[in-house]
Copies of this chain bind each other. A is one copy, B any other.
């Protein structure tokens, strides 16, 4: 549990360092499946004041705060729904990174435009549908999670990222660190995509190139990396 607190703290601190958000924006959480809890950034605390004591521990089943003295991030219920829906998820990151948010605000998926994307995501990063007025009125954060589930259609593995329409990216992975690194990748491919579309609005890489790159790093025939059958937190394009 001490390890989880340290990892979540460090992953949160990497958000501003990686240029993914400023002030108090963004949040990372990490899960302890054995204890049935996740640890998340508190609401409204700037990154330079974060410490392990300020982190908040929440029960996955009930949403009850079981550790820490502060209130959890307002987005906590979105995290919780994703942890409930996908047992394989060990960490979740939400940011307001510039270019990924631009796609979210434009209501557009981030398309697969090259190998940097395909090294990490097996398809476009989807943008959710808009929420209805009723979904915004009550249980908004939980409904944001439900719209994300709609966009994922039961599969959290092939594309570990989504854009909440009009809002911004959520990413996940086996650990809090992995989810943060996927947030870095998501912003990078969004920025490259914006420039690509400006240079060539019809850009579309051959499907066989895209397949090849994804399979270099993911699945049974993967040959990328140096840590046994598969590396988790370093599985980025080279």
Contact = CB atoms under 8 A, between A and B. Distances in A.
Interface of A: 18, 22-27, 41-46, 70-71, 73-75, 94, 96, 98-99, 101-108, 113-116, 130-133, 136-137, 140, 165-168, 181, 184-185, 188, 191-200, 203, 205-206, 208-213, 216, 223-227, 231, 234-238
A24 B108 CA distance: 28
Contact of A200 (B107, B213, B227): B107
Given A23-B181, A225-B44, A236-B23, A166 B209 contact: yes
A117 B71 CA distance: 23
Contacts of A18: 22
> What is the count of identical protomers in the complex?
4
B166 A235 contact: no
Contacts of A43: 224-226, 238
B102 A116 contact: no
B136 A208 contact: yes
A136 B181 contact: no
Contacts of A223: 71, 74
A48 B224 CA distance: 19
